[in-house]
Structure 1
Amino acid sequence: MKILALADMESKALWDYFDRDKIQDVDLILSCGDLKASYLSFLATMVKVPLLYVHGNHDTNYNRFPPEGCECIEDTIFVHNGIRILGLGGSYRYKPGDYQYTESEMRRRISKLRLALWKNKGFDILLSHAPASGIGDGTDLPHRGFETFLHIMEKYEPRYFVHGHVHANYNARSFQRLNHYRETTIINAYEKYKFLYE
């Protein structure tokens, strides 16, 4: 299955200069947040595959104008063609606002999913906005990763962890598109990244 992951910056290649042929092989689109609702709605209209999303810390406008034709999978496990996708959006709390969480708040969100995780026998992809602590995250509070993401990767060994939030232009030399943690391949989906789920 070919998956297109998106985060943080609208791709001109997918919007301003859209060419259906370039993504005709895509079977699923995953959005990691901080993208315009109109951009996601456009892609959901133009590419006839499911588009699943979680919120970024700047997606407060989704409360009034959510992306049309897309499915929010916050705090749930969504199963697509047998692939179990766990959605946990938001960033580390750095000021008052929606879609920001302390470490303990994120831990509680995961704790509330215990039954769903048990019923689904875990998950295959973690879809989040923020990264995990110490793996491709930032040193500042707004871009800190969650330590609890390390724990759920250790426990459930998902194939992939797809996130955004840390932009390539923050520090181009230290930006890492791909990382690994134990059995999990970690993808920073900044702008766009296509990968094959086998």
Structure 2
Amino acid sequence: MKILCVSDQLDPLVYSSAAKEHFKDIDLVLCAGDLPMEYIDYIVSVLNKPTYFVFGNHNLEEFGFYHKQYETNTLNPSIDESLNHAHGASYAGFKVLKEGNLIIAGTSGSLRYNNGLCQYSDGEMFFNLLKMVPKLIYNKIRYGRYVDIFLTHAPPRGIHDKEDRCHTGFKCYLWFLRKFKPAYMVHGHIHLYDLQEKRVTRLDATTVVNAYSRYIIEFGDDA
């Protein structure tokens, strides 16, 4: 399975008339946040492949449609299930979903740095992760594994993140990776101004990928 991962920047190769030809062998698209919904809509329309997205800490004009009851510092995102496939894409924020044989878990947002929308303390994000645990345990019993891909906007603490508060990663993501052992974690949020900068890191059983702009991963046939 070939997966196109995008985040944070409108990639000129994806956002082009030749996208369908360039990405004709793509099976799935993962959008890791800070992208206009119109861009996601374009990707779905052109590639016509299953597409999953989470929100970042910008481009939040439609965040309220997916979280119909929220406060700036919400602990419990309330998701409007009727919008699950708006724009032709599925919202993966604070959910555990299945696409064919692939199990995807996702979270939206970044570490809180200015009390803006879709920002969380590490404790709040940990609480949101805990709410997904029953479904993850069910997956382990039913399918023999908890999750295949963890889709987020922010990175884990100490992996691809920065020291400024806005771009610091979540410590609780490290717990999630070590406990539930996804094959991949796909995140955004960290811009790669130097494309030689490291964007793929291995942590135990998980390959952590920074999806900034565009990145393709190939998932094993046994998933």
TM-score interval (norm. to shorter): over 0.9
Correspondence 1:42-81 to 2 at 5 A? 42-63=42-63, 68-81=87-100
Correspondence 1:180-195 to 2 at 5 A? 180-195=202-217
Q: What residue is the counterpart of 2:111 in the other structure?
A: 92
- Distance apart, 1:81 and its partner CA: 1.7
Inter-CA distance 129–173: structure 2 relative to 1 (3 Å threshold): same
**How many positions carry a matched residue from both structures?**
196
Return the letter of the residue paired with 2:152.
S
Match of 2:128 among 109, 116, 120: 109
Correspondence 1:1-198 to 2 at 5 A? 1-63=1-63, 68-121=87-140, 122-169=146-193, 172=194, 175-198=197-220
Q: Deviations over 1:94-151 (max 9, x none)?
A: 0122111100000000111121111112111100000000011011000000111111
1:56 & 1:99 partners in 2: Cα distance?
7
1:191 & 1:197 partners in 2: Cα distance?
19
**Paired residues of 1:131 and 1:164 also in contact (CA < 8 A):** yes
2:202 & 2:37 partners in 1: Cα distance?
30
1:175 & 1:186 partners in 2: Cα distance?
14
1:28 & 1:49 partners in 2: Cα distance?
6
Superposed CA RMSD: 1.6
Unaligned runs of 5+ in 2: 67-85, 141-145
TM-score scaled by structure 2? 0.84
Q: Percent identity?
A: 33
TM-score scaled by structure 1? 0.94
Return the letter of the residue paired with 1:115.
P
Inter-CA distance 161–62: structure 2 relative to 1 (3 Å threshold): same
- Distance apart, 1:14 and its partner CA: 1.2
1:186 & 1:49 partners in 2: Cα distance?
23
Q: What residue is the counterpart of 2:78 in the other structure?
A: none
